[in-house]
């Protein structure tokens, strides 16, 4: 079907930027039968055209109005990525609701905080690996209306999304959003406590997505793959935002178990991941092709090209022209390793408060690995006297919901955003991140230590999968290390390798920053046990508290201990 496009003539005449929902209606008018979203179900693509998506979203707006929800009301959304996530987000834009996305792996406390703090009146519930947390919260918050997505094992809700869509006609009114209108409340990952609700505007979202489209050169025949949580600002802007604004096809995985096969089915041309997953992909390759043999094959000119193509094909990335990495610090050594197999990964930097759009190493420059690139178009960056990174652009958040004090502390009088990250700029404006201001700690000797540069160097020197340097109030820093889960794991051999790495880095560090000991952690850190945030960042403050006594009473002369 073809939907009538009703442009806002005043917006057009003033040449204001076009907003994402306006673009989707435009695509539905101009390209109604082209496939926009591809949901993998039972190993088959279930396709949604632009007209399908717009029609379903407009019908959903009518359903929400019929339930009594009015423009400006907050609506929660908790689900893994899927086509329905997009449709709901579009419906909230078209209905002038404020979306409140929640990580699908969030625990009870976080879910309840996001819904109650935002005063959400309804919550969409979709694909989840575990429903215990949302079940517990909705059983307590009985005044919040629940709507389920059409997937197996979704909790029973008061309404079902497809039934609502089928029961209503498309909403006929069109919103007239101003650039500074609030589009979404995105709650930060909560590395140091309860998440804060960042107020994100339509104008900031459109500015960031459009500048990314222009900078990356995204065109209509690109293919995106959406699997990092859409509740996270990076996926929301880099994938959802750019796909809506540029009219680009997006596919969604069926499950974590089928992830690689799902990527292969779609063969994305643009692909973004996080350091943890790039590390897992590397391990998957090395499990089948050990490093020594890989090095040998890469030295043979004819074989080298074949190997590189086969490895890219095995990950489903053989047609990807841009690969990205962000969200957390990544080891330069990991990026160098991917470069050796022909996969150049662009590192980027941003945060919820600047719509994840700050710097990119694009076009990719090998000699700039170790930096997070330079400022994207429309972005200003400078370093304060205390080495904090300050950023200014049209794509900054409006403040924290119900938290005027934190909002005021976020900006200086000239409109620069205090990012809380420490860094430096080289002569070409390429930014190197040195860690978070709040991550730096003072030992019992009164000396400050910056843990992130130490951790990044240790990633290069060792094979530790996850690590965290702690030491606040301790005689000296200690390293908490989660060993790789190797078959036939040899403790003594592993300990020797880690010892060599610690000895090497201690030669590079000032005396007060030298690692006194290494505690090998028994239970891997995860979202489930509360040590990782939904974006796989380590909650450093929890580890500092948990292991403070261990570090304060570390046995003299002993470098490595195993947690029992």
Averages of pLDDT over each 10 residues, the chain, 564 residues: 38 63 97 97 96 98 98 98 98 98 92 96 96 96 97 94 98 95 89 82 97 93 94 96 97 91 95 89 91 94 93 95 88 92 96 96 95 96 95 96 94 94 94 86 82 86 84 90 77 89 91 91 86 81 89 90 89
**Bond prior to 363 in cis (omega within 30° of 0):** yes
pLDDT for the residue numbered 192: 57
CA angle 39, 77, 150 (to 5 degrees): 40
Element (H, E) at 172: none
Architecture in CATH of 9-246: 3-Layer(aba) Sandwich (3.40)
Backbone phi and psi for residue 243, each to the nearest 5 degrees, phi listed first? -65, -40
Architecture in CATH of 440-562: 2-Layer Sandwich (3.30)
- Rounded to the nearest 10°, the torsion over CA 81, 82, 86, 91 is -110
pLDDT for the residue numbered 283: 87
**Closest alpha carbon to 86 in 53, 126, 121, 42:** 53
| Pairwise CA distance, residues 543 & 372, whole Å | 27
pLDDT for the residue numbered 500: 92
The CATH classification number of 270-318+321-437 equals 3.40.50.12780
**Closest alpha carbon to 244 in 267, 224, 264:** 224
| First CA to last CA distance, the chain | 63
C-alpha pair distances (Å), 545 with each of 100, 190, 520, 526, 549:
31, 16, 17, 17, 8
DSSP states of 23-76: HHHHHHHHSTTSEEEEEEETTEEEEEEHHHHHHHHHHHHHHHHHTT--TT-EEE
Are 19 and 206 within 8 A, CB to CB? yes
Are 526 and 532 within 8 A, CB to CB? yes
What residue ranges do the domains of the chain occupy?
9-246, 270-318+321-437, 440-562
pLDDT for the residue numbered 19: 96
pLDDT for the residue numbered 13: 35
Q: Within a 10 A sphere around the Cβ of 81, how many other Cβ atoms?
A: 25
| Pairwise CA distance, residues 377 & 523, whole Å | 43
CATH fold match for the domains 9-246 and 440-562: no
| Pairwise CA distance, residues 351 & 205, whole Å | 13
């Amino acid at each position: 079907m073809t939907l009538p496009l009703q442009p806002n003539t005043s917006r057009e005449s003033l040449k204001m930027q076009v907003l994402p929902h306006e673009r989707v209606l435009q695509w539905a008018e101009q390209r109604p039968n082209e496939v926009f979203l591809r949901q993998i179900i039972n190993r088959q693509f279930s396709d949604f055209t632009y007209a399908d998506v717009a029609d379903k979203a407009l019908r959903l707006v009518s359903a929400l109005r019929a339930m009594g929800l009015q423009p400006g009301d907050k609506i929660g959304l908790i689900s893994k990525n899927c086509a329905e996530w997009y449709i709901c987000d579009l419906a909230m834009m078209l209905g002038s609701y404020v979306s409140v996305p929640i990580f699908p792996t969030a625990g009870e406390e976080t879910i309840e905080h996001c819904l109650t703090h935002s005063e959400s009146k309804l919550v969409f519930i979709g694909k989840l690996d575990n429903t215990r947390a949302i079940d517990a919260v909705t059983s307590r918050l009985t005044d919040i209306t629940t709507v389920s997505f059409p997937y197996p094992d979704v909790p029973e809700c008061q309404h079902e999304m497809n039934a609502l869509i089928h029961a209503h006609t498309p909403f006929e009114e069109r919103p007239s959003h101003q650039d500074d209108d609030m589009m979404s409340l995105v709650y930060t990952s909560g590395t140091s406590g309860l998440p804060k609700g960042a107020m994100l505007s339509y104008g900031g979202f459109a500015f960031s997505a459009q500048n990314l489209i222009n900078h990356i050169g995204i065109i209509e025949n690109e293919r995106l793959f959406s699997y990092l949580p859409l509740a996270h600002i990076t996926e929301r802007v880099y994938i959802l935002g750019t796909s809506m604004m540029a009219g680009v096809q997006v596919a969604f995985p069926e499950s974590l178990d089928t992830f690689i096969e799902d990527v292969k089915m779609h063969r994305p041309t643009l692909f973004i991941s996080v350091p943890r997953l790039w590390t897992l992909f590397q391990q998957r390759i090395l499990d089948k092709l050990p490093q020594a043999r890989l090095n040998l094959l890469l030295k043979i000119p004819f074989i080298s090209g074949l190997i590189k193509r086969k490895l890219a094909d095995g990950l489903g990335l053989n047609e990807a022209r841009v690969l990205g990495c962000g969200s957390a610090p990544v080891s330069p050594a990991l990026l160098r390793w991917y470069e050796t197999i022909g996969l150049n990964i662009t590192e980027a930097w941003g945060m919820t408060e600047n719509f994840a759009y700050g710097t990119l190493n694009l076009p990719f420059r090998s000699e700039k690995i170790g930096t997070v690139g330079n400022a994207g178009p429309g972005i200003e960056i400078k370093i304060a006297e205390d080495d904090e990174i300050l950023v200014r652009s049209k794509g900054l958040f409006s403040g924290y919901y119900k938290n005027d004090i934190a909002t005021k502390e976020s900006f200086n009088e000239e409109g620069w955003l205090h990012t809380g990250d420490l860094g430096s700029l080289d002569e070409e404006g390429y930014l190197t991140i040195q860690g978070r201001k709040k991550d730096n700690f003072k030992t019992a000797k009164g000396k400050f230590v910056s843990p992130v540069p130490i951790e990044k160097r240790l990633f290069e020197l060792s094979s530790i999968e996850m690590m965290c340097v702690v030491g606040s109030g301790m005689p000296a820093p200690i390293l908490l290390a989660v060993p790789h889960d190797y078959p036939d794991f040899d403790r003594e051999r592993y300990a020797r390798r880690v010892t060599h790495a610690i000895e090497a880095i201690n030669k590079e560090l000032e005396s007060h920053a030298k690692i006194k000991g290494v505690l090998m952690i028994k239970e891997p850190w995860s979202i489930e046990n509360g040590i990782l945030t939904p974006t796989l960042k380590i909650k450093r403050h929890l580890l500092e508290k948990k292991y403070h006594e261990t570090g304060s009473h570390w046995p003299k002369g002993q470098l490595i201990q195993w947690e029992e």
